Amino acid sequence: MKKLFFLMSTTVIILTASCSKSSSDPTPTGDNTWTLGGTKHTVTFTNKGLTSGGTPSTLIIFADKIPVGADPAVNTLNLSFKTSPTASGKYTLIGLGSTPTDKQFQLSAGGNGKAYGYIGVDTDVDITITGGKVKVTIPEVLLKSTTSGNPDQKITATIFEIN
């Protein structure tokens, strides 16, 4: 009886050890950066949530470091959608002040006491959804400075949500 129990236990252990969890939803890979005004930022923190107020939206924040308190050294790139994208495809970047529809979004960025917003013409942008995470490739566009005395800046990005 002890021998049978030992063999069954050994079999369970071997089978359990050989099993591995596989994910059908791989995490996006590659360069996870944006360049604003010639300065390259690497995404090390992301956060997705719903905004409150008159017209709630989904806000995805990409940051170059984990924000702690009112840390002015954190640089962010922010995307605002009417609802979180669930399918890959072309989405339209629209200017701040407009109200996004289902396949549109708005863009803002900031850090170190500077803030920028996109107010240009509607621009098609590729968005990929992998494992429920958003990956966005933003072509070079001009962001308007919203802080006095700072020049407008060009931005490009290939960014994706991380865990």
What rounded mean pLDDT belongs to the chain?
83
Domain membership flag for residue 92: yes
pLDDT band at 18 (very low <50, low <70, confident <90, very high): very low
Domain membership flag for residue 61: yes
Domain membership flag for residue 123: yes
- Give the pTM: 0.80
Dihedral angle sign, alpha carbons of residues 58, 64, 31, 116: positive
56's CB contacts (< 8 A; 6+ apart) are 50
- What would the pLDDT profile of 48-76 be if each residue is shown by its tens digit? 999 988 888 999 999 999 988 877 789 99
Exposure on the CB side of residue 38, measured as CA atoms within 13 A: 2
Taken as a whole, the chain contains a residue count of 163
Token pair in block for residue 10: 């050994």
| Total tally of structural domains belonging to the chain | 1
Domain membership flag for residue 153: yes
- How far apart CA 4 and CA 85 sit, in angstroms, is 54
- What would the pLDDT profile of 106-149 be if each residue is shown by its tens digit? 999 999 889 999 999 999 999 999 989 999 999 999 999 998 88
Token pair in block for residue 132: 């429920």
Range of the domain at 118: 33-160
Domain membership flag for residue 9: no
**Coil/strand/helix, residue 44:** coil
Token pair in block for residue 150: 């700072």
Domain membership flag for residue 7: no
Please name every residue paired with 40 in a beta bridge, in sequence order, or none if there are none. 35
Domain membership flag for residue 21: no
Domain membership flag for residue 23: no
